[in-house]
Each structure stands twice: as structure tokens, then as C-alpha cells.
Structure 1
Amino acid sequence: MARTWTEDNASLETVNAWIHGVGFALSVPAGLALAHLALDYNPSMLAACIVYGLSLSAMYLFSTLSHAVRDPKVRYRMRALDQGFIYTLIAGTVTPFIWGGLHGWLRIAMMTIVWLAAAAGFYSKVLAKHRVDNMTAVSYILMGWGPAAALFWSTSTICFLTMLLGGLIYTMGVYFLQNDHRAWYFHPLWHVMVILASTSHYLGVVLFAILHWDR
């Protein structure tokens, strides 16, 4: 990702902003639809679905702004928020599975661990400004895959596959994110892969939280 907006990268940054702008535009009605379905079919999952929907929209919004804004100082802040909200999206994505699939102290423990990790990641990017201009995806990958074994083994096969597919797309896309200096189309491709991965995860949440495909 370009640190500054210049005449040379203006077209590319516009493409990057538009791709995730579309993602944001889709995420808002998708989140509202998920909340409405939860209210009608599984009210106990409403809060978890709202958290997930908000985290998804926040990630797309600040990713879009981090590419669309031209002022260097504001652009840096948007980039820090973009990277910070990735942590909350990871936590938000597993929240419905923790809330609906675990019980008692295990649910509380897992929810606490996941959201403390997200809070620490958010703090490191937004407040401590850790490696905002030279980010690494290792912590995202570890946080994303960490809860998988504990959560998804008890879901239905199709639900597990949607979550696995999304995780694999995210992980493969990291190559293009970390190497976007090598080819102009790597970062736009990363943005497309994020949309594909989050769509797969959205389907998994719907199957689990709304349709009760938990076995």
C-alpha cells in the first residue's frame, strides 16, 4: 500500500478504495439482514451477530478510507485504524461461534481471550502506532487460526468448510498484501480476496447462527 497519494499512484489507490468501498456498501445491508434474521429465527444470537456485522463494516470502511484519503496525516490515521480493525473483525467473526457453540466458563474464557487479543492488537496499531508503515500479517494469521480447532470441530461439515475456505483465502491473500510492491495488481487482488473470504465467513455465520447447522 502506498504511504502517500501521488499522481503516479492515484489511479491504483482509487481502484483499491473502490473495491473495498463496494465491500463496505455490501456489508451494511448484509449486517442488517443478519441481525433481522437472528431476531426472527434465533434471538439468543442477536448480540453476537450485531458484533460480527459491525466489525465487518468497520474493517471495510477504514480500509476504504485508508486508500481514499489524500492528506498524509489523516491517511496515516486511517491506515492505523484499518490495521486495528482487522483484529476486531477476527474476534467478531468467531464471536457467534463462541457464543452459540460453547457454554459456561469455557464460553467466558474463550470470549475473554479472543477480545483481549483483539484489544491488544487494536491498541498496538491505533494508539502505539506499531509498524503501521511496515506491517506484518503474522499476528493476524495466528489470531485467525488459533480459535479454529477449538470452535469449528463441532460444527456441521458445510459450515466448517465455509469457515475453512474463508481462512485459506485470507491466508493465501497475505502473500499479495506483503508483496504488493512487486506488481501493481497485487494489492487490488488482495482486496478482492478479502471480499471473497469475508463472504465465505458470512455464509458460515448464517449457517451456524441462523439455520442452526451446528452439527
Structure 2
Amino acid sequence: MPHSPGSSASSQNHRFSVKDPGSALTHLIGFLAGIFLTPLILLHASARGAAFSDLVGLGIFMISLILLYGASTTYHTFAIPRRQILKKLDHMMIFVLIAGSYTPICLSILPQQSGRPLLIVIWSIAFLGMLFKLFFVHCPKWISSVLYIGMGWACIFVIPRLFVILPTTGFLLLFLGGLAYTAGGVLYAQKLTAWNMRHPFFGSHEIFHVFVLAGSLCHYLLMYHYIV
């Protein structure tokens, strides 16, 4: 029995397609890398005699990476009616990643008298940021960028101490990771309409994703080599 034109159109409407292929692919790489690299960094730290607090910090860092890249991949993959929820999760997980990146530094590198208070402050800001995104996910992009970058560079108050404690390469990895995230955040705040029209499949948002991946890689290398 032949299909009616209406049923054929309905079938096409329900055919799966990735909404933002470039954005989904870039952060799928981050998601899969996070899953693969988590046991490696934990086993490496354990072999070097890591304390329980070191492993907790590293575990939180890796979970935050997986959550961020998983939420971003999901949001950019599926065009569904309830995609608004996915957008909120995507934006909220950025705060989780920032706080997760602070956690090993506060628990394992900084002295307790400065590391513990900073950790409490950072996770409190992350919680407030997630609440903000839950209700105001459509705020202007520049506001989001200011929040993310400001939270990321709150470590400015302990930078002198980190400069003394960390080896030169470790400090450079910390700084370059922050620089990559910052460059990505600035790019995220820009519309760059002309560029995006010329490069519809790899526009400014996809480049922003690449900067985020670069920042995560720098900080992963920092955690892998210098936490224990």
C-alpha cells in the first residue's frame, strides 16, 4: 500500500539530525576523553602516593569535565521540544567545571588556611551561578561571559602563592588554561555575524568550544603532573 504524501512528510519531520554538528562533535571529543582519562589520572595519582583528599579533588575535577562536555554535547545534538532544559543544564555545568577545576588546587596545592576558604567561596558562587542560569538562561551573552571569566580569575588573590608553590611548567599550564578559557569566553560574547555566515558549520561558537577544550587540556596536564 503506497504511503500518502502526508505520512511521508511526517516521517521526514521525525528523521533524526544533529542540530549543531560542529559544536556537538567538538564537545563529544571532550566528553569521551574525560571518561577515558579519569581512571588514568586517578591510577597515576595513587601510584605516586596520593592522599585521599588528592583523589577526591581529582575525582571532582574529572566528574565536572564529564558533566560539562556531556551536557554540551547533548544540548547541541538534540533538537527536541524540551531543549530549553538542555540549554539550562549546558550553561549551569560551566559553573560546575570552573568550581571543579579549583577543587584539586584548593585541596592539594594551596595551604589549608587559604585553600579551604577559597574552595567554599568558589562552590558558593557556582551554586548561585547555577540558580541564576536556571531562571535567566536567556540573559545577554556578555553577562554570562563576565560571570564565567570573573569566577575563573577569582584565583588572582592566591596567584602569588601558586607562583611560589608550583614549578614553572605547572604555573604556565594553569595560566595558559585560564587564558584559553578567557579567550573562549570573550569570543562567546561576540556575535561575529559575518564570520558565521561564511562558515556555517564551524562558526565562532565552534571555535569557542575549541578554546574550552584547550583550557581543559592544560588544566588536566597540570592536575596529572603536579597534584601529587
> Shorter-chain TM-score: what band?
0.7 to 0.9
SS at match of 2:166: coil
Distance in 1 between the 2:187 and 2:117 partners? 34
2:172 to 148, 161, 179: 161
Provide the TM-score with structure 1 as the length reference.
Answer: 0.85
Q: Residue 97 of structure 1 contacts residue 208 of structure 1 at CA under 8 Å; is this kept in 2?
A: no
Tell me if structure 2 keeps the 8 A contact 1:35–1:46: yes
- Asked whether 1:33 is paired with 2:51, we answer no
Of 134, 154, 157, 2:140 maps to 134
Runs of 4+ in 1 over 6 A off after TM superposition: none
The equivalent of 1:213 in structure 2 is: none
Question: What is the root-mean-square deviation of aligned Cα atoms in Å?
Answer: 2.0
Distance in 2 (CA, whole Å) between partners of 1:23 and 1:111 is 25
Corresponding residue number in structure 2 for 1:70: 79
Q: CA deviation at 1:132?
A: 3.4
Q: What amino acid maps onto 1:134 in structure 2?
A: P
Please, which runs of 5 or more residues in structure 2 have no aligned partner? 1-12, 197-202
Which protein is bigger by CA-based radius of gyration?
A: 2
Structure 1: runs of 5 or more not aligned: 1-5, 211-215
Instruction: Tell me the CA shift for residue 180 of structure 1.
Output: 4.1
Q: Distance in 1 between matches of 2:49 and 2:126?
A: 26
1:22, distance to aligned residue in structure 2 (A): 1.2
| Identity of matched residues, % | 26
Query: Counterpart in 1 of 2:106?
Result: 98
1:23 aligned onto 2:30: yes
1:36 Cα deviation from its structure 2 partner: 1.6
- CA displacement 1:101-159 (0-9 Å, x = unmatched): 23344332121111111111112213xx2233633210110110111440522211110
The residue number in structure 1 matching 2:216 is 198
Closer, same or farther in 2 for the Cα pair 1:66/1:36, shift >3 Å?
same
Conserved? CA contact 1:27–1:53, under 8 Å:
yes
Matched residues, number: 199
Work out which of the residue numbers 104, 110, 116 in structure 2 matches 1:108: 116
